[in-house]
Structures are given as C-alpha cells and as structure tokens.
C-alpha cells in the first residue's frame, strides 16, 4: 500500500485537524463539518496528482490552448453517516465523479467491548474498471473498510483503489495494508498510535458522526 500521511509536514491541514480535536470547538457542529469538508478538499487535491491525464484542446476567446486534464472514471463511495462531510469536500473538487453510499456500523452485543461490523445497504454504480475512492473519516481498526471491500466485490472490479481518511490508527493502517491490493493508495491527514478497549482512536477526536449530526440512539 502507498501511504500518504499529509499531516507529518507543515501544512494547513494540521490546523483543521487540531480544530476537529478541540473539545471546545467541537461544540459548533457546523464548523466541525466544514473542517472535515476542507480536509477532504486538501486530500482531493493531493490525490489528483496521481490520476491519469490526457491532453485536450481548449478554445478561448483569443485562441486555443492544449492542457493536461484528468482522464479517470471516479466513483466516490462513502460510509454513512460520518462520511458525508468528507464526501462533500471531495465532491467539491471531483464534481463529475459518480457516487456511492454504504451503510456500515459497529454492533456491540450486550454493549460490550467486542463488536462486529455490519454492512447493510449499498447504493453504487458499477465499479468495473473505475477508480474507486473509499471515504471513511475514522480509520480505527480497519475492519469496516475490510468488510466494505468484501461487500463491494459483487459490483465489479475497480482498476484502482484509493482510501481517504481524516484520522487513523497505526493498527488500522497495518490491517488495511494486509487486506487491500498492494497498489492501493491511502490518503490520511493524521495518524495516532493507540486504540482503546472499544476500538476507538486515542486521542482521536471522538465520534465523528455524532459530532457532525448529533447523538444517536
């Protein structure tokens, strides 16, 4: 796997991640969503550098100009519901991409620490020979992305896969490295070392879905 850790250098992306983590700033749900969206825009810009390009002739009022423009069939596929703001940030840049949405969630039997990932809903175009971009803001254990990958097989085989996350754990990254194709790209803004007993990233930022859209039953 080719891993792009954008937060390791000096970058504006770190400001947005810092605000996502800040317990006081988190109280503003709109700002929280917007910061995730802005991170999605930055990650999209960096991802765009690895896509295929072709020359096209552009006509201006004063003449013609050849330009290298992206030549990829992109499918942005987000995991509900926390993936919505990150998806929107990417769609702001990849505005002609096809879109897919996946319902995947953790089920904790008897509210214990152990959990299983349940994938229950898909809305996606064909993935055959497309560039698939899987969008999940929190890469904790990596098991959600693994289950989504298995479930997507019936929708076709993409020619390339990109994973896009805001914050991940070292353990989660190691896990997806084992289950995704070797040429998969991971684009991530920040990486934390630890997971707690329930598989949440520490220090992380909390529950991205709840902070974006309110608590759930």
Go through 46-76 and write b for each residue having 16 or more CB atoms within 10 A of its CB, e for each that does not: ebeeeeeeeeeeeeeeeeeeeeeeeebbbbb
Q: Evaluate whether residue 100 is within a structural domain.
A: yes
Q: Evaluate whether residue 18 is within a structural domain.
A: yes
Task: Check pLDDT > 90 for residue 82.
Answer: no
Q: Evaluate whether residue 61 is within a structural domain.
A: no
pLDDT of res. 119: 73
CATH assignment at residue 25: 3.40.50.2020
Q: What is the span of the domain harbouring residue 46?
A: 2-52+71-213
Task: Check pLDDT > 80 for residue 133.
Answer: yes
When the pLDDT of each residue in the chain is averaged and rounded to a whole number, the result is 92
Q: What is the mean pLDDT of residues 23-48?
A: 97
Task: Check pLDDT > 60 for residue 107.
Answer: no
pLDDT of res. 39: 98
The number of domains in the chain is 1
pLDDT tens per residue across span 161-183:
999 999 999 999 999 999 999 99
Q: Evaluate whether residue 62 is within a structural domain.
A: no
Q: Evaluate whether residue 60 is within a structural domain.
A: no
Q: Evaluate whether residue 146 is within a structural domain.
A: yes
pLDDT of res. 197: 84
pLDDT of res. 200: 87
Q: Evaluate whether residue 58 is within a structural domain.
A: no
Q: What is the mean pLDDT of residues 100-127?
A: 75
pLDDT of res. 84: 93
Q: Evaluate whether residue 114 is within a structural domain.
A: yes
Among 59-68, 89-98, 125-134, 198-207, where is mean pLDDT lowest?
198-207
């Amino acid at each position: 796997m080719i891993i792009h850790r954008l937060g390791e250098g000096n970058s504006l992306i770190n400001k947005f991640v810092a605000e996502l983590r800040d317990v006081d700033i988190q109280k503003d749900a709109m700002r929280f969503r917007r910061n995730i969206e802005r991170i999605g825009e930055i990650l999209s810009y960096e991802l765009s550098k690895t896509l295929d390009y072709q020359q096209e002739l552009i006509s201006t009022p004063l003449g013609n100009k050849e330009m290298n423009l992206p030549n990829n069939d992109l499918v942005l596929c987000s995991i509900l519901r926390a993936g919505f703001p990150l998806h929107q940030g990417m769609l702001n840049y990849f505005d002609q991409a096809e879109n897919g949405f996946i319902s995947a969630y953790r089920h904790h039997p008897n509210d214990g620490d152990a959990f299983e990932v349940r994938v229950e809903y898909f809305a996606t175009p064909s993935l055959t020979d497309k560039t698939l971009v899987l969008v999940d803001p929190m890469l904790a254990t990596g098991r959600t992305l693994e289950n989504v990958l298995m479930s997507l097989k019936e929708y076709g085989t993409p020619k390339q896969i990109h994973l896009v996350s805001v914050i991940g754990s070292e353990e989660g990254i190691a896990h997806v490295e084992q289950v995704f194709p070797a040429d998969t790209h991971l684009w991530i803004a920040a990486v934390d070392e630890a997971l707690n007993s329930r598989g949440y990233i520490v220090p992380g930022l909390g529950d991205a879905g709840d902070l974006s859209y309110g608590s759930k039953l």
